[in-house]
Structure 1
Amino acid sequence: MLDRAHIKLSPRVVPAPPVEQFVLGRSVEDAAELLPRIFNLCRAAQMVAARLSFGLALPNGWKQDLCRDIARDHALKLAVMLPAKLGMAPLALPPGNQHLSKPTLGAIFPKSGAAFEDYLKTEQGIAPYLRAVDQIFAPGEAVTDTLPTVTAVSAERLAPVENSLAARHLDHPVLQYLEVTRGRGPLWRLAARALDLQAVEQGALADPLVVNGAVLVPAARGLYAVRAEVQAGRVTAFRRFTPTDHLLAPGGILAQSLARLPAEKHSHAPLLLDILDPCVPVSLQEGAQDA
């Protein structure tokens, strides 16, 4: 029988269809309408990225729509999907997109490491779920190195970078505390999602950027990058880079997290994968460690 210490987990990814085939040759208006429908995750972010990359004006209220999309995604992940994976009762969310952070977090999210430890002991909001995750993954388990934070340049390269929600809040005292006490692991990443939920509900989201022809838009998983070329009102080239591309990059966040998940805790790999939150189907398989 194989020694469990020499068993590793490998991801198997269902590749997304090449986006270029859907938009090349189309008018910019048609392409901008089509993209958010094909890739229905992060619809507002994709709409913003598509219109900016095609040289089209953004509609009124686009920033509010983007913040609402991100907030709703965070609330569902933290208050409904996470407890389901943990076998715990979910939180009831209010109808619509109003004040999601209040029922989800139960209070203003802690602003210091000490306050976070106190929060973990309560029954407020998502505190019981975070406490359960903290008990499943010990410090140093399923963590990553301190990867370079995504930039306008690295957003268009498939290399290991920290293109995640945490990249937007690296200077927050709670994330800094958790990085020291637990590492950049599951609890660190869930705390980043909670901080981002609170931030986007307050409208604290960076504006999209256009850098050397690339459009960079904050989305529900990190920084979304799109590059397009247009001639005579039609799309002649199009490419996008998503946070999931960087998550799945060789040596990236997923690979490092799986490598540091002990073999005796491989049963928790689906939970880890849900926390990392790829936007394409990913399955995990066990196999012998390479010699």
Structure 2
Amino acid sequence: MSAALAIVLRPEGPRLEVTVTPPDPLPVAALLLGKPPAEAAALLPRLFNLCGAAQGQAARLALGLAGDAAPARREILRDHLAKLCLIWPRLLGLTPQPLPDHWAEGGQALQDWLWGGAKPADLWPFLTSGQGVAPLLAALGHAFAPGEAVADLPPLTDPMALTAQENSPAGRVADDPLMHAAEARFGRGPFWRALGRVVDLHRIAETAPQAETPRPGLALVAAARGTYALSARTEAGMVTALSRVTPTDHLLAPGGALALSLASLPAAKAGLAALVIDILDPCVAVSVQELAHA
């Protein structure tokens, strides 16, 4: 039994041969079946360290209970800012910085902090401006050339299907003009995905994302890593069926973003694999092993 995502990288000429072994699935349904809906919905977020508010909201909505979007929105703001201020600067050799004041309130002040003023209409002059998150994005633009560590996937159209789909913050805002510009130059690589966090943060600072209930018993909830899908059924006041599909499930699906991104990372840049993985952001512990060429 393994609780960690195991990734093995082996140079094969100019590219990397990638082996991905997902962690063993957690018996989530077995822990919740037979419980009253309110108890199950309260227990689910306690089982996970990450995206607990989003999973709790999804459980409540799927089980026919009232859901509060505020905690999940705050969770997204916090996790996006942790990447932009603390984690990615450290991985890029930049100086981490504190989260902006009053970040949990969102609003115009947070949007202005992101860009150093109004959101730019043109991405490329912004990168050299030194304003907002421009230094971080510029460092990513220098670290990865166009076409490196890219994964071009179909959009998220069937959230409950365990197939390769673009279930990510970047996919959520792929229609934004800045995202189109980034994709045209770099492809859907680390720069595009990191910019997606910024654009997603800008949107969520303004308006909380709306959860969806396409049918009774199915809830789709925005989270920091993408969209959580949860399906549930109750009978006689007890949970009788529950299934969830997470952004990490789509990330690790055969032909998913993790394997494709690492396979298109040049072998000479294997040292950047940790940054690529963190930008993709699986919600499980990760073990990376780099092997020499046989």
User: Structure 2 length as normaliser, TM-score?
Assistant: 0.88
Of 55, 61, 77, the residue aligned with 1:46 is: 55
Q: Aligned residue for 2:4?
A: none
What is the CA deviation profile of residues 224-257 of structure 1, one whole-angstrom value per residue up to 9, with x for unaligned ones?
A: 1001111111111111000110011111111110
Q: Which segment is superposed worse, 8-17 or 85-94?
A: 8-17
Q: Aligned residue for 2:133?
A: 126
Between the two proteins, the alignment pairs up a number of residues equal to: 280
Shift of residue 204, structure 1, vs aligned partner: 4.8
1:233–1:40 Cα change, 3 Å: farther
Give aligned-pair identity as a percent.
45
Q: Aligned residue for 2:230?
A: 226
1:15–1:101 Cα change, 3 Å: farther
What is the CA deviation profile of residues 260-287 of structure 1, one whole-angstrom value per residue up to 9, with x for unaligned ones?
A: 0011001100000011111112223345
Q: Aligned residue for 1:244?
A: 248
Do the aligned residues in 2 keep the contact of 1:9 with 1:284 (CA within 8 Å)?
Answer: no
Q: Aligned residue for 1:116?
A: 123
Q: Aligned residue for 2:85?
A: 79
Shift of residue 98, structure 1, vs aligned partner: 2.9
Q: Aligned residue for 1:168?
A: 172
The residue type equivalent to 1:259 in the other structure is A
Shift of residue 130, structure 1, vs aligned partner: 0.9
Equivalent-residue separation in structure 2 for 1:33 and 1:45 (angstroms): 12
1:63 matched to 2:73:
no
Do the aligned residues in 2 keep the contact of 1:14 with 1:282 (CA within 8 Å)?
Answer: no
Equivalent-residue separation in structure 2 for 1:167 and 1:3 (angstroms): 30
Do the aligned residues in 1 keep the contact of 2:16 with 2:264 (CA within 8 Å)?
Answer: no
Structure 2, gaps ≥5 residues long: 1-10
Of 261, 283, 287, the residue aligned with 1:257 is: 261
Helix, strand or coil: the match of 1:55? coil
Equivalent-residue separation in structure 2 for 1:169 and 1:3 (angstroms): 34
Structure 1, gaps ≥5 residues long: none
Q: Aligned residue for 2:6?
A: none
Equivalent-residue separation in structure 2 for 1:3 and 1:148 (angstroms): 27
Q: Which runs of 4+ in 1 moved over 4 A?
A: 287-290
1:289–1:212 Cα change, 3 Å: farther
Provide the alpha-carbon RMSD of the alignment: 2.1
Equivalent-residue separation in structure 2 for 1:229 and 1:289 (angstroms): 50
Equivalent-residue separation in structure 2 for 1:6 and 1:130 (angstroms): 25
Equivalent-residue separation in structure 2 for 1:118 and 1:63 (angstroms): 36
Equivalent-residue separation in structure 1 for 2:118 and 2:90 (angstroms): 24
Helix, strand or coil: the match of 1:209? strand
Of 68, 88, 110, the residue aligned with 2:94 is: 88
What is the CA deviation profile of residues 153-206 of structure 1, one whole-angstrom value per residue up to 9, with x for unaligned ones?
A: x21111111111122212111111111111000000111110110111101523
What is the CA deviation profile of residues 23-54 of structure 1, one whole-angstrom value per residue up to 9, with x for unaligned ones?
A: 01111111111111111322221121111111
Do the aligned residues in 1 keep the contact of 2:225 with 2:247 (CA within 8 Å)?
Answer: yes
Shift of residue 124, structure 1, vs aligned partner: 1.6
1:168–1:6 Cα change, 3 Å: closer
Shift of residue 15, structure 1, vs aligned partner: 3.1
Of 100, 113, 117, the residue aligned with 1:107 is: 117
Shift of residue 214, structure 1, vs aligned partner: 2.0
Q: Which segment is superposed worse, 279-288 or 79-88?
A: 279-288
The residue type equivalent to 1:160 in the other structure is A
